[in-house]
Protein backbone atom coordinates (compact mmCIF):
# COMPACT_ATOMS: atom_id res chain seq x y z
CA UNK A 1 0.00 0.00 0.00
CA UNK A 2 1.43 3.43 -0.89
CA UNK A 3 2.52 5.61 2.04
CA UNK A 4 -0.21 8.20 1.38
CA UNK A 5 -2.90 5.53 1.38
CA UNK A 6 -1.48 4.11 4.60
CA UNK A 7 -1.70 7.50 6.25
CA UNK A 8 -5.24 8.03 5.07
CA UNK A 9 -6.13 4.35 5.59
CA UNK A 10 -7.56 4.19 2.10
CA UNK A 11 -7.19 1.31 -0.28
CA UNK A 12 -6.27 2.75 -3.67
CA UNK A 13 -6.64 -0.52 -5.55
CA UNK A 14 -9.42 -0.71 -8.08
CA UNK A 15 -12.37 -2.87 -7.03
CA UNK A 16 -12.60 -6.27 -8.65
CA UNK A 17 -15.32 -6.55 -11.27
CA UNK A 18 -17.67 -9.45 -11.02
CA UNK A 19 -19.21 -11.22 -13.97
CA UNK A 20 -22.65 -10.26 -12.74
CA UNK A 21 -24.02 -6.88 -13.76
CA UNK A 22 -25.60 -4.48 -11.31
CA UNK A 23 -29.02 -5.34 -12.73
CA UNK A 24 -28.60 -9.06 -12.22
CA UNK A 25 -27.39 -8.50 -8.66
CA UNK A 26 -30.45 -6.46 -7.74
CA UNK A 27 -33.04 -8.21 -9.93
CA UNK A 28 -31.87 -11.75 -9.38
CA UNK A 29 -29.76 -14.00 -11.51
CA UNK A 30 -32.57 -14.68 -13.91
CA UNK A 31 -33.26 -11.42 -15.12
CA UNK A 32 -33.98 -8.03 -16.18
CA UNK A 33 -32.28 -6.05 -18.83
CA UNK A 34 -28.56 -5.72 -18.59
CA UNK A 35 -27.22 -2.14 -18.72
CA UNK A 36 -24.94 -3.11 -21.60
CA UNK A 37 -27.99 -3.90 -23.72
CA UNK A 38 -29.59 -0.49 -23.19
CA UNK A 39 -26.59 1.69 -24.08
CA UNK A 40 -26.90 3.58 -27.36
CA UNK A 41 -24.36 2.94 -30.07
CA UNK A 42 -21.65 5.62 -29.91
CA UNK A 43 -20.10 7.03 -33.06
CA UNK A 44 -17.27 9.52 -33.43
CA UNK A 45 -19.75 12.38 -33.78
CA UNK A 46 -21.93 11.40 -30.83
CA UNK A 47 -19.24 10.17 -28.44
CA UNK A 48 -19.51 13.32 -26.31
CA UNK A 49 -23.13 14.29 -25.71
CA UNK A 50 -22.12 17.52 -23.92
CA UNK A 51 -20.24 18.81 -26.95
CA UNK A 52 -23.18 18.07 -29.22
CA UNK A 53 -25.66 19.93 -27.02
CA UNK A 54 -26.68 23.38 -28.24
CA UNK A 55 -26.64 25.92 -25.46
CA UNK A 56 -26.10 29.68 -25.24
CA UNK A 57 -22.83 29.19 -23.34
CA UNK A 58 -21.59 26.60 -25.81
CA UNK A 59 -21.74 29.01 -28.73
CA UNK A 60 -19.22 31.28 -27.01
CA UNK A 61 -21.23 34.45 -27.64
CA UNK A 62 -22.83 34.66 -24.24
CA UNK A 63 -19.57 33.78 -22.50
CA UNK A 64 -17.66 36.41 -24.48
CA UNK A 65 -20.28 39.05 -23.68
CA UNK A 66 -20.15 38.08 -20.02
CA UNK A 67 -16.39 38.62 -19.68
CA UNK A 68 -15.80 41.35 -22.28
CA UNK A 69 -16.61 44.28 -19.98
CA UNK A 70 -14.59 42.95 -17.00
CA UNK A 71 -11.55 42.35 -19.23
CA UNK A 72 -11.75 45.89 -20.58
CA UNK A 73 -12.08 47.18 -17.01
CA UNK A 74 -8.95 45.23 -16.01
CA UNK A 75 -7.02 46.49 -19.06
CA UNK A 76 -7.82 50.09 -18.15
CA UNK A 77 -6.92 49.47 -14.50
CA UNK A 78 -3.61 47.90 -15.53
CA UNK A 79 -2.75 50.90 -17.72
CA UNK A 80 -3.39 53.33 -14.88
CA UNK A 81 -1.48 51.23 -12.29
CA UNK A 82 1.55 50.00 -14.25
CA UNK A 83 3.98 51.25 -11.64
CA UNK A 84 2.16 49.52 -8.78
CA UNK A 85 2.72 45.97 -7.56
CA UNK A 86 -0.31 43.67 -7.86
CA UNK A 87 -1.22 40.01 -8.30
CA UNK A 88 -3.67 37.93 -10.32
CA UNK A 89 -6.03 38.00 -7.36
CA UNK A 90 -6.02 41.80 -7.43
CA UNK A 91 -6.85 41.76 -11.12
CA UNK A 92 -9.67 39.28 -10.50
CA UNK A 93 -11.02 41.56 -7.78
CA UNK A 94 -11.05 44.49 -10.22
CA UNK A 95 -12.81 42.35 -12.83
CA UNK A 96 -15.26 40.96 -10.26
CA UNK A 97 -14.50 37.48 -11.60
CA UNK A 98 -12.62 34.58 -10.14
CA UNK A 99 -8.99 34.12 -11.15
CA UNK A 100 -9.65 31.16 -13.42
CA UNK A 101 -12.42 32.90 -15.37
CA UNK A 102 -10.26 36.00 -15.78
CA UNK A 103 -7.34 33.88 -17.01
CA UNK A 104 -9.54 32.14 -19.57
CA UNK A 105 -10.94 35.47 -20.75
CA UNK A 106 -7.44 36.90 -21.22
CA UNK A 107 -6.33 33.79 -23.06
CA UNK A 108 -9.30 34.12 -25.37
CA UNK A 109 -8.86 37.85 -25.98
CA UNK A 110 -5.06 38.33 -25.89
CA UNK A 111 -3.68 34.79 -26.28
CA UNK A 112 -1.79 35.27 -23.01
CA UNK A 113 -2.38 35.07 -19.27
CA UNK A 114 -3.22 38.24 -17.32
CA UNK A 115 0.24 38.60 -15.76
CA UNK A 116 1.90 38.05 -19.15
CA UNK A 117 -0.27 40.88 -20.43
CA UNK A 118 0.86 43.04 -17.50
CA UNK A 119 4.51 42.28 -18.30
CA UNK A 120 3.98 43.16 -21.97
CA UNK A 121 2.28 46.46 -21.08
CA UNK A 122 5.06 47.28 -18.60
CA UNK A 123 7.69 46.55 -21.25
CA UNK A 124 5.88 48.89 -23.68
CA UNK A 125 5.66 51.60 -21.02
CA UNK A 126 9.36 51.17 -20.16
CA UNK A 127 10.25 51.50 -23.84
CA UNK A 128 8.17 54.64 -24.13
CA UNK A 129 9.88 56.08 -21.04
CA UNK A 130 13.32 55.14 -22.36
CA UNK A 131 12.60 56.82 -25.69
CA UNK A 132 11.48 60.03 -23.97
CA UNK A 133 14.20 60.04 -21.30
CA UNK A 134 17.42 62.00 -21.32
CA UNK A 135 20.37 59.59 -21.31
CA UNK A 136 22.45 61.97 -19.17
CA UNK A 137 19.98 62.18 -16.27
CA UNK A 138 18.10 58.85 -16.43
CA UNK A 139 19.30 55.27 -16.12
CA UNK A 140 17.82 52.04 -17.37
CA UNK A 141 17.78 50.77 -13.79
CA UNK A 142 15.55 53.63 -12.65
CA UNK A 143 13.01 52.97 -15.38
CA UNK A 144 13.10 49.21 -14.92
CA UNK A 145 12.54 49.52 -11.17
CA UNK A 146 9.80 52.11 -11.73
CA UNK A 147 7.78 49.56 -13.73
CA UNK A 148 8.36 46.71 -11.30
CA UNK A 149 11.21 44.88 -13.01
CA UNK A 150 13.35 43.97 -10.02
CA UNK A 151 15.48 41.42 -11.85
CA UNK A 152 17.45 43.66 -14.19
CA UNK A 153 19.08 41.03 -16.36
CA UNK A 154 15.71 39.36 -16.92
CA UNK A 155 14.28 42.77 -17.82
CA UNK A 156 17.06 43.30 -20.36
CA UNK A 157 16.52 39.85 -21.87
CA UNK A 158 12.74 40.30 -22.09
CA UNK A 159 13.19 43.78 -23.53
CA UNK A 160 15.59 42.54 -26.19
CA UNK A 161 13.26 39.65 -27.06
CA UNK A 162 10.36 42.07 -27.44
CA UNK A 163 12.05 44.98 -29.23
CA UNK A 164 15.23 43.59 -30.78
CA UNK A 165 17.62 45.81 -28.84
CA UNK A 166 18.84 46.27 -25.31
CA UNK A 167 17.23 48.95 -23.13
CA UNK A 168 20.53 50.82 -22.92
CA UNK A 169 20.58 51.08 -26.71
CA UNK A 170 17.08 52.56 -26.68
CA UNK A 171 18.09 55.05 -23.99
CA UNK A 172 21.21 56.09 -25.91
CA UNK A 173 19.14 56.64 -29.08
CA UNK A 174 16.60 58.74 -27.21
CA UNK A 175 16.76 62.42 -26.45
CA UNK A 176 17.13 65.45 -28.70
CA UNK A 177 19.51 63.71 -31.14
CA UNK A 178 17.41 60.59 -31.63
CA UNK A 179 16.01 61.68 -35.00
CA UNK A 180 19.48 62.36 -36.38
CA UNK A 181 20.92 59.05 -35.12
CA UNK A 182 18.04 57.01 -36.56
CA UNK A 183 18.13 58.71 -39.97
CA UNK A 184 21.88 58.97 -40.48
- Kindly tell me if the per-residue pLDDT of 184 is higher than 90: no
Query: Which pLDDT value is given to residue 152?
Result: 95
Whether residue 101 is found in the same domain as residue 129 = no
109 & 129 share domain: no
**Where in the sequence is the domain holding 145, given as residue range(s)?**
119-174
Q: Does 154 share its domain with 109?
A: no
Question: Residue 78 falls within a domain, yes or no?
Answer: yes
The CATH code of the domain that includes 142 is: 1.10.10.60
What pLDDT sits at residue 62?
47
- 107 plus 125 within the same structural domain: no
Of 45, 90, 97, the C-alpha closest to 71 is 97
Residue that terminates a domain, selected from 90, 116, 142: 116
Q: How many domains does the chain have?
A: 2
Residue at 167 is within a domain: yes
pTM of the model: 0.61
Q: Out of 74, 100, 116, pick the residue that ends a domain.
A: 116
41 within domain boundaries:
no
Q: Are both 132 and 106 inside the same structural domain?
A: no
Q: Which burial class, exposed, middle or buried, applies to 126 when counting CB atoms under 10 A from its CB (0-12, 13-18, 19+)?
A: buried
Residue 141 in domain: yes
Residue 91 lies in a domain: yes
Please indicate, yes or no, whether residues 135 and 157 belong to a single structural domain of this protein: yes
* Centroid of chain to Cα 51: 23
If pLDDT is split at 50, 70 and 90, which confidence band does 173 have?
A: confident
Answer with the one of 71, 100, 116 that is the final residue of a domain.
Answer: 116
Domain co-membership, 71 together with 107: yes
Dump pLDDT digits (tens) for 108-140.
Answer: 999 999 999 999 999 999 999 999 999 899 999
Flag whether 32 is in a domain: no
Q: Write the pLDDT tens digit of every residue in 44-91.
A: 555 555 555 554 444 444 455 677 899 999 999 999 999 999 999 999
Burial class from Cβ neighbours inside 10 Å (0-12, 13-18, 19+) for residue 130 reads buried
Q: Are 35 and 27 in contact (CB under 8 A)?
A: no
- Residue 181 falls within a domain, yes or no? no
Amino acid sequence: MPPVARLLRVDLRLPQRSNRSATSRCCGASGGVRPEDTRPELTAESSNPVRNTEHAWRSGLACTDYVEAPVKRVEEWIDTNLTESFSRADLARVAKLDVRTLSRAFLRRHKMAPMQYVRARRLQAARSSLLQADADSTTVTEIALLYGFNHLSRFAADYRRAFGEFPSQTLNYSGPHSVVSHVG
